[in-house]
Amino acid sequence: MSDGDVVARSLQDPLAFEELVTSLGPRVHAYLARRVPHHADDLLSEVWLEAFGSRGQYDEGRGEVAGWLFGVARHVLMRHLRRVERSRGAAPDDATQHEDWDAVDRRLDASGLAPVLRAALAALSAEEREVLLLVAWEQLSPTEAAAVLGIPAGTARSRLHRARARITDAWNTTAVTTARGEHHS
């Protein structure tokens, strides 16, 4: 039985929806943990409750259940960030600008190239960066990422293309510079 079948069955048998928490819960949690590591556990239940309440809106023709779930998770994440920002007296422009990069930095630092990647990511527009991370981290296709963000698939593909090109350029440039430096030392 596919995830879509489970969603459909849950409309008649609501308890069936719990199966999805078991199968897709870890991926949803990882999405949250990458962005708000200290709140992921709390937000996980919020995401699933929101998904349960809106499962009647899931349209199998518009993509897999996982993609739809990430859309719900993004909505919950944005709401959480707005709450946080309101308490700080500011308003967020998008979710990725408020990601907790500490966890990412620690991992990138280990590669010795963290500043390169971090600088390249920072140079991307917020829209490009969000598409890139949905594909790289959540293993979504560009079309699924588009569904999560509520944008046309073609727009997601072009943003992804630009993001990849800039990351690749930055990487190659730095790598060449590093290689030359080592060569002359």
Query: Considering the rule CB under 8 A, would residue 111 count as an interface residue with another protein?
Result: yes
User: For residue 120, which amino acid is it?
Assistant: A
Distance, CA of 152 to CA of 134 (rounded, Å): 15
Query: Considering the rule CB under 8 A, would residue 103 count as an interface residue with another protein?
Result: yes
Indicate which single residue of 90, 119, 126, 136 sits in contact with another protein (rule: CB under 8 A).
Answer: 136
3-state secondary structure 106-132: HHHHHHCCHHHHHHHHHHCCHHHHHHH
Distance, CA of 27 to CA of 30 (rounded, Å): 5
Query: Considering the rule CB under 8 A, would residue 175 count as an interface residue with another protein?
Result: yes
Q: Output 49 or 126, the one with its CB closest to another protein.
A: 49
Total residues belonging to the chain: 185
* Interface map 41-80 toward another protein (x if CB under 8 A): x--xx-xxx--xx---------------------------
Indicate which single residue of 104, 140, 146, 148 sits in contact with another protein (rule: CB under 8 A).
Answer: 104
Indicate which single residue of 4, 9, 37, 157 sits in contact with another protein (rule: CB under 8 A).
Answer: 37
Do 132 and 163 touch, CB atoms closer than 8 A? yes
**CA dist 95 → 10, 57, 66, 67, 113 (Å):** 30, 23, 19, 17, 25
Binding site for another protein (CB under 8 A): 10, 14-15, 17-18, 21-22, 25-26, 29-30, 33-34, 37, 40-41, 44-45, 47-49, 52-53, 103-104, 107-108, 111, 113, 117, 120, 132-133, 136-137, 167-168, 170-172, 175-176, 178-179, 182-183
